[in-house]
Amino acid sequence: MYGGGNIFDEIKPDDVAGEDSIKLAEFEARIDRGEKIEPTDWMPKLYRKQLIRMIEQHAHSEIIGALPEGTWITRAPGFKRKMALMAKVQDEVGHGQLLYSAAETLGKSREQMIDDLINGKSKYSNVFNYPTFTWADCCFISWLVDAGAIVNQLANAKGSYGPYCRALERICAEESFHLKYGHHCVIYLASGTQKQRDMFQEAIYRWWPPMMHFFGPSDKISVHTEILMKWKVKMDTNDNMRNQFLDMYVPKIWELGFTIPDPKLKKNTATGRWEYTEPDWDEFKRVINGGGPCNKERLEVRRIAEERGRWVREALRAPKTEYITPLA
Amino acid sequence: MNHEAIKELLYKMADDQLILGHRNSEWTGFGPLLEEDIAFSSMAQDKIGHSLALYTILHELGEQDPDTIAFTRNADQFHNTVFTELPNAEYDFSLIRHFLYDTSEALRFEILSQSSFEPLAQLAIKVRGELRYHTMHANTWIKQLGSATEESISKLQKSLEYALPYALGLFEPSLYESKLINEKVFEGEKALEEKWKKKVEEVIAQTQLQLPNWKTLTPHYGGRIGKHSEHLQPLLDEMSEVLRIDPTAEW
């Protein structure tokens, strides 16, 4: 996981005004040719800024995303699930590490990024501001939130910034295992006892609205990001990615006999697009801005972990003190 | 070959691995830096995997299947040391426990790679390779933090003094010591303890930490015969929380 629904600032026309027009044209020509931009290459300030923002959000989403699933490691039912979930969540933390490194190539240190996460300046995927009440919630994340992230990440892996694309290729390979694991867990719930089926059905009711939010605000209301798409920072529109997800997974959920809490949800066979009740974007904004059920808890955990670990990081920086035998 | 003696040995090893693996996994998402988060998670996976392998041997000896053994017993039926069930507390205690425990574990499996009980010897040969990375990790960190800042040295020293009596509980003699030794299944807890002390001394000597005189320490025994602290039952309740929702279900 867990990129998706990145929040971009509105871009003003003069954001690229100060750039050297020849260099900018060369830069854009390279991107058009499908070349990758590397850390030491020339790039517009706006490109650097937006990439840092996007990769950083993605990295934060990985480490915050480890929390709602991580809390089920100690409760996972049986050896098989326990070991798989541990490995999965560890992968997510590893993705965070990989992505912080990719963002660092653009000039912002990991420490600064983590500080900005804790002080609320940078965001992470909204979906992790919701609680996992049951094992089925955890299975929903492993299967469907990961599935959504894969849609997003496969698109982004074709972007223009070399280090991010390479990180995403590695991440996507691991994600495909997560998806299989999540799907396997859900199959067992779906084909299990009534209690198990009910658990997953309730998880769908709880998680469907945040899942629809996952890909970010509708194209009708989201900020203009044409230049980011031209520079291959953003690879597709939010609605296109949401549509792709629905196309791949709604039939699978229905096939298992579960109900999705949206009476309008259906595929328009003429347009090939999915129709659905417009998600509540006010709720989305409220949660992004700190008003979700778990925002405080997630950041508090991160803050405490950072604070409790400070002495360790300081000790790593300190040179070893050698023991010297007293002369007398 | 005395199966009761072997089972007792397998149970205490498997339970130690399971319980400490569980504790290590609690660091997921909370480590002092991402790299340590990932390292503790790796070690947790290894430990839980080792416990599964040991429970599988027990199952082959006629005990119940691994999931039943691991997830349905009560605290007084567990044979792990109290040392492994203590809460993680701060990173300094977790690190010291990791160092003291994994040093003993690596030596135990090294010894068992010569065991006359073939399934255990085979497993030990496989596991000891993984454990080299655990002890390498522990030693690197103990040497760095045990010689870095005043704060890191004093935190580790305090945790070391607190942990040592519990760590000695790892070598609580079993009722079957002489049987296991005579049948060349295992060299015995006493022999392991001596090797462990030497190894611990060797690493601590490379730091600013001080080992107390071994003679002044009283080992914390009891875990091997089911006498546990108040921390084990809640851990087990949490571990079986989902399974208990519907014990007849497959998850």
* pLDDT value at A5 more than 70: no
pLDDT of residue B2: 82
Domains and CATH numbers, chain A: 43-281 (1.20.1260.10)
Q: Which chain A residues are closer than 8 Å to B147 by Cβ?
A: 320-323
Residues of chain A positioned with their CB less than 8 A from the CB of B149: 311, 314-315, 318
DSSP state at residue B33: S
Which of chain A's residues have a Cβ under 8 Å away from the Cβ of B151? Answer: 311, 314-315
pLDDT in the model for residue B138: 98
Closest CA of chain A from B196, distance in Å: 24
- CA pair distance B185, B96, nearest whole angstrom: 29
Count A/B contacts: CB-CB distance under 8 Å. Answer: 146
pLDDT of residue B248: 85
> CATH code at B176?
1.20.1260.10
Asked, for residue B34, whether it belongs to a domain, the answer is yes
Structure ipTM: 0.95
Q: Residue B92 and residue B207: Cα distance in Å, rounded?
A: 15
Distance (Å, whole) CA A2 – CA A129: 13
Residue A197 has pLDDT above 60, yes or no: yes
In a domain, B129, yes or no: yes
| Residue A8 scores a pLDDT above 80 | no
pLDDT at A193 over 90: yes
Residue A2 pLDDT > 60: no
Structural domain total, chain B: 1
Considering chain A, what is the average pLDDT of its residues? 93
Q: Does residue B250 belong to any structural domain of this protein? A: no
- With contact defined as beta carbons under 8 Å apart, do A81 and A135 qualify? no
Instruction: Tell me the nearest-neighbour CA distance from B30 into chain A, angstroms.
Output: 5
Chain B residues with CB inside 8 Å of A75's CB? Answer: 238-239, 241-242
Q: What pLDDT score was predicted for residue A4?
A: 54
Cβ separation A78–B48 shorter than 8 A: no
Tell me which amino acid residue A182 is.
G
pLDDT reading at A3 higher than 80: no
Quote the pLDDT of residue A323.
58
CA dist., res. A303 & res. A263, Å (int): 41
**From the centroid of its chain, how far is CA B91?**
17
Nearest chain A residue (CA) to B20: A74
For residue B238, the enclosing domain spans: 3-245
Using a CB-CB distance cutoff of 8 angstroms, which residues of chain A are in contact with residue B19?
none
pLDDT at A319 over 90: no
Residue A324 has what pLDDT? Answer: 61
What's the pLDDT at A298?
94
Lowest pLDDT segment from A103-107, A321-325, B24-28, B97-101: A321-325
Residue B192 lies in a domain: yes
Q: What is the mean pLDDT of each run of 10 residues along chain B (251 residues)?
A: 93 98 95 95 97 98 97 97 97 98 98 98 96 97 96 98 98 96 97 98 97 98 98 98 92 96
Q: How confident is the model at residue A223 (pLDDT cuts 50, 70, 90)?
A: confident
| B28/A66 CB distance under 8 A | yes
DSSP-assigned beta bridge partners for residue A274: A267
CA distance readout (Å), A184 to A180, A188, A190, A192, A194: 6, 6, 10, 12, 18
Q: Residue B251: inside a domain, yes or no?
A: no
pLDDT interval class at A13 (50, 70, 90): low
Cβ–Cβ gap A77/B242 under 8 Å: yes
By percentage, how much of chain A surpasses pLDDT 90? 87
CA-based nearest residue to A4, from A180, A160, A236, A170: A236
User: pLDDT-derived band of residue A7, with 50, 70 and 90 as boundaries?
Assistant: low
Our CA-based measurement puts residue B183 at a distance from the nearest CA of chain A, in whole angstroms, of: 32
| pTM of the model as a whole | 0.94
Q: Closest approach of chain B CAs to the CA of A85, in angstroms?
A: 10
Q: How confident is the model at residue A252 (pLDDT cuts 50, 70, 90)?
A: very high
* Residue B94 covered by a domain: yes
Cα–Cα distances in Å, from A91 out to A3, A135, B92? 14, 19, 25
Nearest to B152 among A77, A90, A311 (CB): A311
